[in-house]
Structure 1
Amino acid sequence: MTSPVFREVAISDLDGCYAIESEAYEGDEAATREKIATRIKRYPEGFLCAELNGKLIGFINCGCAWEVVMSDEEFKELIGHNADAPNVVIMSVVVDPVCQGRGYAGQMMREFINLMRKKDKKTIHLMCKTHHIEFYAKFGFDYIKPSDSEHGGMAWHEMSMTL
């Protein structure tokens, strides 16, 4: 398997990121183009892209907080984000549907965790659907609780890991 190249996002990635987010997530679960643009502009260093043969195939993006409230919808627009805060909150882990099932999400997650360690972050938090709990547990995430979030009208679970 060819390994992707990992890099920080650029504003020129906006359309590609939005296309992948829209295709990979169900219904209202996907971030809007505007939210993705805000995340790219406000915290590009928390936005890891994966490329394969020069084509964007996936990304992980996050914000940082002093206090993590996973059900805070405003945080998805980086309201309350502080790049110096020690706690990372992942908003998207997404791979282009045509590239799924090949281990790229796992490679991205390992790269992202290492990147956050290099940035001296202390914890990483995320919300996921039931069928992804086992995937994140493989990387050292602990199950916290069912989330209060009703984002996209779906059931979510909160997980976190200490770096």
Structure 2
Amino acid sequence: MSTPVFRRATPVDTDRCFDIEITSYEGDEAATREKIATRINLYPEGFLCMTLDDEIIGFINAGCAWEVVMSDEEFKELVGHDPAAPNAVIMSVVVHPDFQGKGYASLLMREFIAQMKSMGKKTIHLMCKDRHIDLYAHFGYRYIKPSSSDHGGMAWHEMMMTL
């Protein structure tokens, strides 16, 4: 079995990352190709790819904010993003369905947390569905509140980790 390799996304990764995004997320919750491209172009330091045999199998992307407002839809296009801000805000945590259930998401999250710590970030914020609350709690995120966001027409919950 190959060992996963982690690296920053580059513009040539846009199509593969978009394919994973739309294959893995339900309905309207997937980011558009344009949003994926914007996130890679504006903040590659916050766009971590996991590869196996040189193929991207999953990724986490984030932006940074001084004040976190999880329901801010514009932030998904990095409007208001400041790379110097201390709070990372995750927008996607995704592993292609062909590679799910094999522990790759855990490896990806642990690497992302380590990178955010090394960059001097103070917190990591995310939104998740009911079924993922326990998973993120396992990594050390704590439950904040139900989110006012109805992104993709779904119910979300805000969680945060202090680094």
| TM-score normalised over the length of structure 1 | 0.99
Alpha-carbon shift at residue 56 of structure 1 (Å): 0.6
Which residue number corresponds to residue 68 of structure 1?
Answer: 68
Alpha-carbon shift at residue 3 of structure 1 (Å): 3.0
Q: What RMSD in Å do the two structures reach over aligned CA positions? A: 0.7
2:101 is the alignment partner of 1:101? yes
Which residue number corresponds to residue 48 of structure 1?
Answer: 48
Which residue number corresponds to residue 122 of structure 2?
Answer: 122
User: For 1:8-157, what aligned pairs fall within 5 Å after superposition?
Assistant: 8-157=8-157
2-side partners of 1:138 and 1:4: how far apart?
21
Note the alpha carbon deviations across 1:28-80, whole angstroms, 9 max, x for none: 00000000000000000100000011111000000000000000000000000
User: Alignment length, in residue pairs?
Assistant: 163
Alpha-carbon shift at residue 14 of structure 1 (Å): 0.3
| TM-score normalised over the length of structure 2 | 0.99
Q: Residue 111 of structure 2 aligns to a residue in which SS?
A: helix
2-side partners of 1:53 and 1:21: how far apart?
20
2-side partners of 1:54 and 1:121: how far apart?
29
Q: Which amino acid aligns with 2:8?
A: E
Note the alpha carbon deviations across 1:111-133, whole angstroms, 9 max, x for none: 00000000000000000000001
Q: Residue 94 of structure 1 aligns to a residue in which SS?
A: strand
> Runs of 5+ in structure 2 lacking a partner?
none
2-side partners of 1:67 and 1:157: how far apart?
18
Note the alpha carbon deviations across 1:84-107, whole angstroms, 9 max, x for none: 000000000000011100010000
Alpha-carbon shift at residue 2 of structure 1 (Å): 3.8
Q: Residue 155 of structure 2 aligns to a residue in which SS?
A: coil
2:158 is the alignment partner of 1:161? no
1-side partners of 2:3 and 2:79: how far apart?
34
Q: Residue 139 of structure 2 aligns to a residue in which SS?
A: coil
> Runs of 5+ in structure 1 lacking a partner?
none
